[in-house]
Structure 1
Amino acid sequence: MNALTAHSRDTPQFYLTAPSPCPYLKGQFERKVFTHLVGEQAAPLNDLLTHGGFRRSQTIAYRPACEGCRACVSVRVRVDDFLWTKAFRRNRAVNCDLVSAEVGVTPTSEQYSLFRAYLDRRHADGGMVDMTVMDYATMVEDSHVRTGLVEYRRRGPDTAINGRGAGPLLAVALVDRLSDGLSLVYSFYDPDAQDRGLGTHVILDHVARAKTLGLPYLYLGYWVDGSPKMDYKRRFRPQEFLAPAGWTLREGE
């Protein structure tokens, strides 16, 4: 590899997408700035860009760059000061029979079946609804950063020995490990288990995981002002948002 090729591989090049309909705000158009996360510098670059408001999707790091709109705001939860509300404690009690286990980055047919059911029932009009099993495998495996899957199942007879649950798969989270926190890349769960609040449970579990690992933050991606489907993220407090002057604690928190 010559010096020019090595330089271009290790130095990120940024690109801007063409305008496309916004998936969160009706009548708006989105643009994104993105770069590739490849090579030996992918992990530290992912750290740096996440701190700057980027999100990861496979080997791409991106952030909104929309003209005249700043509704998308990067948010992260302060783990050490997390407020365990009555609703959160109740969610943990309802799901006390569940066990979460890290399973590496090996996609399975069982995961895809759950992923497919989740999309069809919860996001039938979303941009991911046409993803095939190969697309799902690529989403999981195509990464040059420290990432992994966490599976959620009911507690089984051997849980005390192997640390894993048993029975049907109820939820899955794809999570990146950063220098100062965990970043929830994507999660999905059984749409028939509505009484469990599994989406909330996955976030609460990763608050606890980050605290156990001694990591101060849990990155939740973008909160979108004016989008009801993203408003749930405001419930996880205290929360910082990325402002022009840097990460800032939300008022009243």
Structure 2
Amino acid sequence: MGTELGQLRAQHPAAVGGRTSLARVLDVLQEDPRPCSYLADRSASLLHRIQVDVTPLELEALLERGWRRFGPDYFRPGCAPCFECVPTRIPTAEFRPSKSQRRAHAACGELEVRVGAPICDDERLALYHAWHGQRERKRGWEEAMLSERSYRIQFAFPHPAAREITYVEPESGKLVGVGLCDETPRAWSAIYFFYDPAWAKKSIGTANVVTQIEIARRRGIPYVYLGYQVDGCPSLAYKASFRPQEHLIGLPEADETPVWQRAPAAPTLKRS
């Protein structure tokens, strides 16, 4: 991204959804085009807004307009004319897990689920690197050199909406999964999830999404935001299985009303 927190410059009020905001936008930048991480034949260029003092309601308005967050970095695609990254959300009151999703949730049912504020410690760093290292070997991901400082900025940056879901083996007390999330009155944003590779065979990733939808529903939150869905990207294909779901039409600006449209029902395979 080319910008360090210590080098952030101009500070001025932001506005989202037609309301004056007390959030301070420290920097706005557009990435130079680079190879897309999702589609091999495309280039990518994210729009970044580095900002602080964003309230939960302001974050909610940003989520409704297709923005995502890592720490103080708010971003969304700026790769026109490509519009393959489609913001996706799940209406919690209508969600019904599929048979395979129920099976994954049950397989991980022994784990203790805890919700709290994000923190950074050696256990979380080790778990992140174990998970990412497995992805590097299996999927050819670039090597991750995530330091404690980088983890704190990306995943444990102070924010009133920030939440952390942890999955812990009850007998050993071992941490086997960490989900980073945001909670606002009408939105639960699933930001990032990493886990012990030994739990992959129990589909803990799927179980985590089901768990987050359940938590949001119990708290009266109508939508869980899953980030971007990209047709043709295998690593994001799992998102299409959570139904019903809604997709954002275009990428509206702060003063425009976002329009979310119900996605077509998943096709049903016919038996011959």
TM-score relative to the length of structure 1: 0.87
- Give runs of ≥4 in structure 1 deviating > 6 Å: none
Aligned residues: 240
**For 2:174, what is the secondary structure of its paired residue?**
strand
Residues 1:46 and 2:59 are matched in the alignment: yes
- For the residues of structure 2 that align with 1:127 and 1:185, how far apart are their CA atoms? 20
* Matched letter for residue 95 of structure 1: C
- Asked if 2 retains the 8 angstrom alpha-carbon contact of 1:46 and 1:145, the reply is no
**For 1:193, what is the secondary structure of its paired residue?**
helix
Structure 2 residues not aligned, in runs of 5+ = 1-9, 15-21, 251-257, 267-272
Residues 1:134 and 2:140 are matched in the alignment: no
- Asked if 2 retains the 8 angstrom alpha-carbon contact of 1:46 and 1:61, the reply is no
- Asked if 1 retains the 8 angstrom alpha-carbon contact of 2:133 and 2:143, the reply is no
**For 2:173, what is the secondary structure of its paired residue?**
strand
Is the deviation greater in 210-219 or in 125-134? 125-134
- For the residues of structure 2 that align with 1:61 and 1:128, how far apart are their CA atoms? 23
- Asked if 1 retains the 8 angstrom alpha-carbon contact of 2:104 and 2:207, the reply is yes
Partner of 2:187: 181
Partner of 2:169: 154
Give the alignment of 1:42-191 within 5 angstroms.
42-123=55-136, 125-126=140-141, 129-156=144-171, 167-191=173-197
Question: How far apart are residue 7 of structure 1 and its match?
Answer: 4.1
Is the deviation greater in 55-64 or in 135-144? 135-144
Question: How far apart are residue 6 of structure 1 and its match?
Answer: 5.6
Instruction: Decide which of 213, 230, 237 is 2:243's aligned counterpart.
Output: 237
- Asked if 2 retains the 8 angstrom alpha-carbon contact of 1:77 and 1:219, the reply is yes
Deviations 1:100-150 (A, max 9, x none): 102322212111111000000024544571212332222222243410211
Question: How far apart are residue 42 of structure 1 and its match?
Answer: 4.2
* Matched letter for residue 178 of structure 2: V
Alpha-carbon spacing, 1:133–1:14, altered in 2? closer, same or farther (3 Å): closer
- For the residues of structure 1 that align with 2:151 and 2:143, how far apart are their CA atoms? 10
- For the residues of structure 2 that align with 1:198 and 1:191, how far apart are their CA atoms? 9
- For the residues of structure 1 that align with 2:41 and 2:216, how far apart are their CA atoms? 38
Question: How far apart are residue 250 of structure 1 and its match?
Answer: 0.5
Question: How far apart are residue 66 of structure 1 and its match?
Answer: 0.6
- For the residues of structure 2 that align with 1:80 and 1:128, how far apart are their CA atoms? 39
- Asked if 2 retains the 8 angstrom alpha-carbon contact of 1:146 and 1:176, the reply is yes
Partner of 1:34: 48
* Matched letter for residue 36 of structure 1: I
- For the residues of structure 2 that align with 1:128 and 1:23, how far apart are their CA atoms? 14
Residues 1:23 and 2:37 are matched in the alignment: yes
Residues 1:227 and 2:233 are matched in the alignment: yes
Deviations 1:181-235 (A, max 9, x none): 2101111011122221110111110011001100011110001121111111001
- Identity across matched positions, percent: 27
